[in-house]
Amino acid sequence: MFWEKDIETMDGDQLYRMQLERLRNTVESASRSSYYGKLFKEKDIHVENIKTLADLRNIPMTTKEDLRKEWPYGFLAASKDDIVRMHSSSGTTGRATVIFHTMKDIDCWTNQLARCMYMAGLRKSDVFQNMMTYALFTGGLGFHYGAEKLGAMVIPAGPGNSKRQIQLMRDFDTTAIHIIPSYALHLTTVFEEVGVDPIKDTRLRIAFIGAEPHSEKMRRRIEDFYGVKSFNSYGLSEMSGPGVAFECPEQNGLHIWEDAYLVEIIDPVTLEPLPDGQEGELVMTTLNREGMPILRYRTQDLTRIIPGTCPCGRTHRRIERIKGRTDDMMILKGVNIFPIQIEKKLMDIAGVGNNFQIILERKGFNDDMIVKVEVQREYFTGDLKELESLRRTIVNELKSDILITPRVELVEPESLPRTEGKAKRVLDNRED
Ligand code: ADP
Ligand code: ZN
């Protein structure tokens, strides 16, 4: 059941002591970087002043912007000779950030991923097809090393080339996949096209899905089509990459590994800490990184700590699936809307296909939301009246949740633009 039982089920006091010791080490090693060295001097921060975990609050938070400004080496805390790898973020919201790892960092991260996958049920006997990009992006290599450490056979398939993916699955009896959820939905149409039914014709049993927000409904769609149990995987390059938080077989929140990170949830406006249960921005501190320790990193991701304990026996707290980034929020006619709200509604409506796109436009003082929705083939070729009634249902369902009336356009399956990486859900054509 457990990869490292003593750590995964560690009691609160023990965990606290471990975190405090690691935090002190982190502050000490961070002070060797030019960024924190200067900051600590300015703010008179010394490791001797870190006596409890609450003392962390005296350290200013670090933002994505700070990392960007210090490009490339401002946060480097180890000798360059000891660095064995660099990675970078995807650059979804602007210029990418870069992270450096020592061999020990890579080992810790790899072990964390093995822990996650083992928790979800991956074993030595599994064949693991990794359909993530192998490059600067952390999703490919991170999982690759983790699955090898666990002892599974890894197929480093990388993304795209859908027909070959299906062929690999069949020829090598793939049992587990790692895939971006929007791509997993797209791949369903390729399965249909080549006449392969993943439930009957493959041995798939586990999917790891992550790297972008997705709703519970979308997960269920993936599980139903592929006949797998699918596990939400959360991570970000600044905190090493995937393996930061992961679902256990309870599928009720993601355990965030508190031996490796200190976790805070803050109000993104006032920056005040929020109690467990309340939604806010996730802020994290690395606890075992040598190459590039980061303190109180504002992830911009919105979630909450799920109060209470998990029946699986792990003591590390759980976060709720990520709602989105703070800057994913669309403000329309004074209403705050996240793309995931739209997705959640759409995935629940029979006839809705695998992809959608939100377009924002401004006419005079009026903001408009256009939602383009791919419909399933049989609807598209069917009765026009039925199509119109589907369109109306979508308008009404969306309106009931987001309170404004979007313009809904139904489009053919597979006609909306898609990427090999994270889906781009929103096109904002409004001028500032
Ligand atoms: P970038 O921030 O440029 O996209 P990364 O590749 O490091 O670069 O991606 C990390 C980000 O991806 C996270 O901060 C989060 O916004 C998003 N993300 C990763 N995993 C998930 C997940 N399981 N659910 C929702 N969002 C996720
Ligand atoms: Zn659990």
Q: Ligand 1 pocket, 126 CB below 6 A?
A: no
Burial class (CB in 10 A: 0-12, 13-18, 19+), 272: exposed
pLDDT for the residue 149: 98
Report how far apart, in Å, the C-alpha atoms of 327 and of each of 92, 214, 274, 299, 330 are.
Answer: 11, 16, 20, 11, 8
pLDDT for the residue 432: 64
pLDDT for the residue 265: 98
CA of 210 to the centre of ligand 1 (A): 8
pLDDT for the residue 420: 81
Task: Express each pLDDT in 400-425 by its tens digit.
Answer: 999 999 999 999 999 999 888 899 99
Q: Counting atoms of ligand 1 from 1, which one is nearest the CA of 96?
A: 3
Q: Ligand 1 pocket, 240 CB below 6 A?
A: no
Tokens of 313: 């026996």
Where does 44-161 have alpha helices with state H? 64-69, 103-120, 138-150
Protein residue closest via CA to atom 11 of ligand 1: 236
Q: Ligand 1 pocket, 211 CB below 6 A?
A: yes
Protein residue closest via CA to atom 9 of ligand 1: 236
Tokens of 40: 């600590």
Residue ranges and CATH numbers for the domains of the chain are 5-327 (3.40.50.12780), 332-428 (3.30.300.30)
Ligand 1 pocket test: pick from 63, 92, 136, 319 the residue with the most ligand atoms within 8 Å of its Cβ.
Answer: 92
pLDDT for the residue 417: 92
> How many residues in total does the chain contain?
432
CA of 315 to the centre of ligand 2 (A): 8
Phi, psi of 178 (to 5 degrees): -125, 125
Q: Counting atoms of ligand 1 from 1, which one is nearest the CA of 92?
A: 3
Ligand 1 pocket test: pick from 63, 180, 212, 328 the residue with the most ligand atoms within 8 Å of its Cβ.
Answer: 212
pLDDT for the residue 90: 87
Q: Ligand 1 pocket, 99 CB below 6 A?
A: no
Bridge-partner residues for 115, per DSSP?
none
Protein residue closest via CA to atom 20 of ligand 1: 211
pLDDT for the residue 94: 86
190: left (phi over 0), alpha (psi -120 to 50) or beta: alpha
> What is the pLDDT tens value at each position of the chain, 432 positions in all?
999 999 999 999 999 999 999 999 999 999 999 999 999 999 999 999 999 999 999 999 999 999 999 999 999 999 999 999 999 998 888 888 999 999 999 999 999 999 999 999 999 999 999 999 999 999 999 999 999 999 999 999 999 999 999 999 999 999 999 999 999 999 999 999 999 999 999 999 999 999 999 999 999 999 999 999 999 999 999 999 999 999 999 999 999 999 999 999 999 999 999 999 999 999 999 999 999 999 999 999 999 999 999 999 999 999 999 999 998 999 998 899 999 999 999 999 999 999 999 999 998 888 999 999 999 988 888 788 999 999 999 999 999 999 999 999 999 999 999 888 899 999 999 876
Q: Ligand 1 pocket, 27 CB below 6 A?
A: no
Q: Ligand 1 pocket, 233 CB below 6 A?
A: yes
Ligand 1 pocket test: pick from 304, 322, 419 the residue with the most ligand atoms within 8 Å of its Cβ.
Answer: 322
Task: Express each pLDDT in 19-51 by its tens digit.
Answer: 999 999 999 999 999 999 999 999 999 999 999
pLDDT for the residue 189: 94
Does the pTM exceed 0.95? yes
Question: Which ligand gives the minimal distance to the CA of 235?
Answer: 1
CA of 378 to the centre of ligand 1 (A): 34
Question: What is d(CA 422, CA 400) in angstroms, rounded to the nearest whole number?
Answer: 28
Task: Express each pLDDT in 99-132 by its tens digit.
Answer: 999 999 999 999 999 999 999 999 999 999 999 9
